[in-house]
Amino acid sequence: MKIAILGYGTVGRGVAQIIEERVPEVEVARILELPDRLTDPRMTPNYQDIVDDPAIELVVECMGGIEPAHTFILQALNAGKHVVTSNKAVVAAHFAEFAEAASKAGVSLLIEASVGGGIPWIASIEKVRRIEDVQSFSGIMNGTTNYIVYSMLKDGADFAEVLSKAQELGFAERDPTADIDGIDVRNKTIISASVAFDVACTQDLPVSGIRNLTKYDLSLFGSRGLTVKLIGRGVQADGRYAVSVEPVAVSTSTLEANVPTNFNLVTLDAPSIGELKFYGQGAGSLPTGNAIVQDILDCVSGRRPTYDFSRGLTYDPAMLHGPYVFRTEATIPGATFYEPGAVIVDDLTATQARALLDEALKSDPTTFMAAVSANS
């Protein structure tokens, strides 16, 4: 199979290298690159050269960002080419549009690398769904924030200190907003929900990050046998679903609490298979390149996922609820004492909790909020 790679950064080069060394049945025939970087005869700065080439059966998009990735993916699908992408932002924003174009053209959109890096997460959800519905999923889907919490606990350091160390080590971006405010996990949660529940999850879901997490917060939860992880999750039942992204206080004896450094851990639950958990490197050029090549190999060997979001699930925020802790100087309605400086509200939906957090941030911009896990 002849393929083209769009975007020749570390992931794109990793994909080309793995294919050259280990996948003789696939040939990287074209590479889309900037006009001033054409160092290889396969390279072109003109996407039309790739779209118009009938010999190219599959396009790997690893440019990132929304445009031109969105347009390029649509053009490839419309031209009858399979698309493999690691770009969570564009898939989260345009999944339904891509799925419809792929279906019309009779080709596949393969997105394993967009969630959980090297973890076989998307393919595992699809495999479970051959037999039964997925009832819920949840997980640590962002390595940067896991590294930050892990290091704060290990070194007794504060957020800013650990973040700057993570940036030095390359575990965090220079602009860490997408990671620490939960935007990255939001995109991965939307994609996971779409695959797990067959729903075009374009909902304005409640999203909170860990920007305001302090050493003190970790010690107050620690005194109760809990630690804090940034968790994306989704649940469905009876034609309804809900999703959220927020810090969750989990028991220190859970697998989640013990995920080290920048690893990810994602969980699904289904009636007959029960709970399945998958752990691995959630980012990095080699794991992500590996996931892309697995999608290419699946496509070569005939796995052709299709997504149909016509099921019409209703979004019901009341499905995700529980106790929430606020460490704040603001007054939280309905709250009672939890630990010095922190209060608890016994039962809020994720949406209500996010609204209370917004209110509290107005009077105390350092406010930190976490859901308390039902298993704690």
Q: Can you give the binding site for a copy of itself, defined by CB under 8 A?
A: 18, 22-23, 118-120, 124, 127, 130-132, 253-255, 257-260, 263, 265, 272-281, 284, 286-287, 289-290, 293-294, 297, 301-303
List the catalytic residue out of 81, 188, 215, 362: 188
Q: How far is the CB of 143 from a copy of itself (least distance, A)?
A: 12
Complex with a copy of itself: residue 267 or 349, whichever CB lies closer: 267
Complex with a copy of itself: residue 112 or 181, whichever CB lies closer: 112
Query: Whose CA is closest to 306, among 193, 205, 194?
Result: 194
Complex with a copy of itself: residue 157 or 286, whichever CB lies closer: 286
How many C-beta atoms surround the C-beta of residue 185 within 10 A?
A: 28
Is there a catalytic annotation at residue 215? no
Q: How far is the CB of 105 from a copy of itself (least distance, A)?
A: 21
Q: Are 280 and 287 in contact (CB under 8 A)?
A: yes
Complex with a copy of itself: residue 57 or 256, whichever CB lies closer: 256
Complex with a copy of itself: residue 263 or 307, whichever CB lies closer: 263
Helix (H, G, I), strand (E, B) or coil at 228: strand
Q: How far is the CB of 60 from a copy of itself (least distance, A)?
A: 15
In the block, tokens 């206080």 appear at 249
Helix axes 69-78, 88-105, angle to 10 degrees: 20
Partners of 32 in the beta sheet?
6, 44
3-state secondary structure 277-318: EEEEECCCHHHHHHHHHHHHHHHHCCCCCCCCCCCCCEECHH
Q: How far is the CB of 368 from a copy of itself (least distance, A)?
A: 24
> What are the C-alpha distances in Å from 329 to residues 135, 208, 343?
38, 18, 10
CA atoms within 13 A on the CB side of 198: 18
Q: How far is the CB of 301 from a copy of itself (least distance, A)?
A: 7
Catalytic residues: 188
